[in-house]
Chains A and B, each alone.
Chain A
Amino acid sequence: MNASFSIAAIAAVCVVTLTIGALGFRLSRTTSDFYVASRMVTPTWNASAIGGEYLSAASFLGVAGLVYSLGADMLWLPVGYTVGYLVLLVLVAAPLRRSGAYTIPDFAEARLESVTIRKLTSVLVLSIGWLYLVPQFKGAGLALHAVSGAPTWVGNLIVAVVVLINVVGGGMRSITLVQAVQYWIKLTAISVPAFVLLSWWMHHGQPIPQAASVPPGQQWSQPLSGFGGVDHPVYATYSILLALCFGTMGLPHVLVRFYTNPDGAATRRTTSIVLALLGVFYLFPPLYGAFGRIYLPHLPAGTSPDAVTLLLPTAVIPGVVGQLMSAMLAGGAFAALLSTASGLTICVAGVVDQDLIRSRLRRFTGDDARAVNGFRISAIAAVIVPFWLSLAARDIGLADTVGLAFAIASSTFCPLLVLGIWWRRLSTAGAGAGLVVGGTLASAAVLLTIFGQVHGGWAGALLTQPAAWTLPITFVVMTVVSLATPKRIPRGTARTMVRLHAPEVLSANLDKQRP
């Protein structure tokens, strides 16, 4: 396969990303620029930026890879990624924006009036962020391997370095401007080759996926058939659906984007546009999984199923057209993982800097250390651990790894946000107990999964898809402990509730009337 187009596309994406990052560096001089680019962004523009940041390597490559290898049950993944925004919209969007919180630790501290809870959420943001970064790095490695044959660590390293340079140099401003355009680039990159493949398929006999040599009843195209050796497909389907639907609201890089909306109502409108943008994008990845079954029933040895999207065009369409389409997909995949990784790194670094590093740094250097240096040190910490993990962890699918990040987010931050926003009797002790219990259970399941201590059967199903039991447990712990500790309900709860739920027109009057 002639890979020069694809390599050129990947190189171009990296260079453009770095260039824009460098331009952004000249624009952002102060710390506040680093944190929030601008609050004056229209809902459509903002929704594009959310979509651009959200659609990661898992969406661009991982969904097709899992649909290809595990069949129809994996169609639930993009559904879950999208419905997660619906759940977020109806449960937390406007109140979170009105809270004025920029990150989940900000919200936790404001709502529960406790620095301990804040630190606890910071640690969780860090672990979710790390886990979510792993598949971005791995995606880069396998994409580069698929198009050029380079060892997988090379791609991992390239993306880690580009993200680090970009984040350390540019900060949020460049990212905000770029993310919105990113969505449209990604949509083009995934849809044009899909249409080309589709028309090729239409004009060349419309073959359908052949039933491979699988046990009877296990059909690739049918849901719940256990194709690919999935144990307990019904449980797995519900558990992953729960994790995705209720985990989205707890992802570190999601809340930040809402901050760029001027008010709660605009946040809602933005989110409903996000639903449309995601829905359009997710029409395409399953197509690649299906075409892979038709045209590439056997992948070359050593190739991950996650690379099936990239291999398809050259395998199907001879000549320059196929190569160009593959190059487009490779560039799009890199754009996807670079944007998600940059956004995540910024959020994780921001949280680590503010809550875990800055005070220590100051103790060390007196007041000399500029705030920005803490941010840079944090960014390095945010990237190095997932880079190591991307090399050390057991080989599981990109979208599966992302699913684990969703599982932790749904078993910790979802109960915290939902109860915090809607329930006056949430106590500091209850929230803390829930975060510790849910975080511990979900993380234990995740660690066992990624370091390969999981076998089949029910134990395997429960550990690889933990959300169905960890999410309810966290809700129960938070509720029961809160009811048992009514004295630990934050004093300002009533006032916070007004702030979260009252339309801004009224809150503005409130502020004016305060001395």
Chain B
Amino acid sequence: MTTDIDEQTRLGELYMATLIRAQWRLSMSVLASAAMMIGGLPLLFLFVPATRTLNVGPIPLPWLILGVLIYPAVWLAGRYYVRQSEQIEGEFTELVARR
């Protein structure tokens, strides 16, 4: 089977295209969610000025979000991506091996 991929037979190419598309879709979904969450924050501060002055305990909300909460969120997004992309590759490898 691996020779198929190597020699660019149509089936091999199809397999590769499927793998790349699946990975691309995963990457885009993670990026899009991150862009909405992170890229949306300046807009939130811009259009809802109350969020700029809101305090959570002694800490202003923007500081709490940008200084603390955003980091675990980014880490979790990264872990989610790693798991999902390994799964895509695992399925691909299995598919190729089965043939």
Which residues of A come within 8 Å of B, CB atoms? 72, 75-76, 79, 82-83, 85-87, 89-91, 94, 206, 208, 219, 221-225, 234, 237-238, 241, 265, 268-269, 271-272, 275-276, 278-280, 282-283, 286, 290, 422, 494-495, 497-498, 501-503, 505-506, 509-510, 513-514
Complex Cα spacing A237 to B45, Å: 12
Given A86-B74, A283-B67, A510-B2: A208 touches B42 (CB 8 Å cut-off): no
Question: What residue in chain A is nearest B89 (Cβ atoms)?
Answer: A503
Chain B 24-38, CB-CB to A under 8 Å as 1, else 0, gives 101100110010001
CB within 8 A of A72: which of B3, B16, B63, B70? B63
Tally of A-B Cβ pairs under 8 angstroms: 133
Which residues of B come within 8 Å of A, CB atoms? 2-3, 5-6, 8, 13, 16, 19-20, 23-24, 26-27, 30-31, 34, 38-39, 42, 45-46, 52-53, 58, 60, 62-63, 66-68, 70-72, 74-75, 77-79, 81-82, 85-86, 89, 92-93, 96
Assuming A75-B63, A90-B26, what are 7 further A-B pairs, CB within 8 angstroms? Answer: A224-B46, A241-B38, A268-B82, A279-B75, A422-B20, A506-B96, A509-B2
Please, could you name 9 A-B residue pairs with CB atoms under 8 Å apart, sorted by A? A83-B34, A83-B38, A86-B34, A91-B27, A219-B53, A222-B52, A279-B74, A290-B63, A497-B20
Summarize B's interface: helix, strand, loop or mixed. helix
| In the complex, chain A residues whose CB is within 8 Å of the CB of B68 | 283
Question: What residue in chain B is nearest A270 (Cβ atoms)?
Answer: B82
Structural contact, B45 and A275, CB atoms closer than 8 A? no
| In the complex, chain B residues whose CB is within 8 Å of the CB of A238 | 39, 42
Complex Cα spacing A223 to B86, Å: 38
| In the complex, chain A residues whose CB is within 8 Å of the CB of B42 | 223-224, 234, 237-238, 241
Given A498-B16, A501-B16: A82 touches B93 (CB 8 Å cut-off): no
Structural contact, B5 and A506, CB atoms closer than 8 A? yes
| In the complex, chain B residues whose CB is within 8 Å of the CB of A208 | 58
